[in-house]
A and B are shown apart, each in its own frame.
Chain A
């Protein structure tokens, strides 16, 4: 492919919303309402550090350590903090455990509240109108679209997240994983399995 080396008369204009965000940032930092260092730190955290691997570590610990599991179910915020994962805004975390009787699934019908500290930024579908509207109304149908078919006897419980309470699903530990250590277990825990729209992968 020939390289087109024409002159750019001026810098590439960012998209319209990018300019609007830049405008707000300039105004707010100039007024001292936002600290640029704090802004950078938040960006760094959410773009690079936080993600589903943290939630997976929590789940793997709960699968391996019955005492930890009990603490997690009793006070998830504190139990998650034990792994040196901390929320930013003091969101109250609640862990909901899947059992053969109950499958848990999480949604935010209002906007997109999500357990950021352990899962990072939510996927697009979590923020879509379709998921937000249908998860409560027809959870089994939504699960089927994610490729999850539950036994008839297992009921589905849908948890609606809010600004104050964020839910983390603790999926059931897959069969055949008795010999695995925490690190190996964590690799089986998918993001979707912690939202309740997926199941952990089986052992390799």
Chain B
């Protein structure tokens, strides 16, 4: 048999998301069992609608779980996260190609 090539991450944001979650847990902001419970619940909910293939849908569920957890625990509220996402989007759209993208009023 031939095993599929070892996959790490399909897209850079998945790696960032993974690292962010591990870093939060290591810093003691939530325990890993808390994380797996929350993540398992999201996967179950998504999987009820259609079978997840373990690729992009897996990290979509991961991101949704982390956003909800950070909102619930008051680390990053939904509105705050959405405002920041929009700020990044605006920064990308207003930065000339080839220049480093920075938030307009990053503190």
Contacts and interface: CB of A to CB of B under 8 A. Distances in A.
B103 A26 contact: yes
Interface string A154-182: 00000000111000000000000000000
Interface string A116-141: 00001101111111110000000000
A24 B11 contact: no
Contacts of A43: 15-16, 19
A62 B71 CA distance: 46
B93 to A, nearest CB: 5
A24 B27 CA distance: 16
A31 B81 CA distance: 13
B94 interface: yes
A192 B3 contact: yes
A10 interface: yes
Interface in A21-46: 21-28, 30-31, 33-35, 38-39, 42-43, 46
Interface residues of B, number: 67
A130 B80 CA distance: 36
B88 A23 contact: yes
B77 to A, nearest CB: 9
Given A124-B53, A148-B1, A20 B23 contact: no
B54 A127 contact: yes
A58 to B, nearest CB: 16
Given A17-B63, A23-B85, A51-B8, 9 more contacts: A11-B98, A13-B92, A20-B67, A21-B16, A42-B22, A47-B8, A47-B15, A52-B6, A91-B32
